[in-house]
Amino acid sequence: MQLERYDNEVRQYYRTRTDGNKEMSWLEQVTATLNKEARPFMKDFINTKGFSVK
C-alpha cells in the first residue's frame, strides 16, 4: 500500500516538473534500471588484466 502511494507521488512529481512530458513511477524507473546490463565492458577489461571470468 505504501509503495503504491509513493509510486503515485513520484508520478505526480514528474508530471508536474516536466509539464506532463514524463510520467513514470518509482517502480517503473527501478525496473528499467535493473533490467539494463551493468558495465558490459568490465568482462573484457578484467580478461585483459589476466583474470578469467565466467
Per the structure, the complete domain to which residue 35 belongs is given by 2-48
Is residue 54 scored above 80 in pLDDT?
no
The reported pTM is 0.63
20 found inside a domain: yes
Is 10 a domain residue?
Answer: yes
Q: Is residue 15 part of a domain?
A: yes
| Predicted pLDDT of residue 25 | 95
How many domains would you assign to the chain?
A: 1
pLDDT of residue 26: 95
Residue 35 burial (10 A CB sphere; 0-12, 13-18, 19+)? exposed
Domain for residue 54, yes or no?
no
Q: Is the residue at 27 inside a domain?
A: yes
pLDDT at 52: 79
CB–CB of 22/14 below 8 Å?
A: yes
Segment 31-50, tens digit of pLDDT: 999 999 989 898 889 989 99
pLDDT digits (tens, 9 = 90+) for 4-25: 999 999 999 999 999 999 999 9
Residue 26 lies in a domain: yes
| Domain assignment present for 53 | no
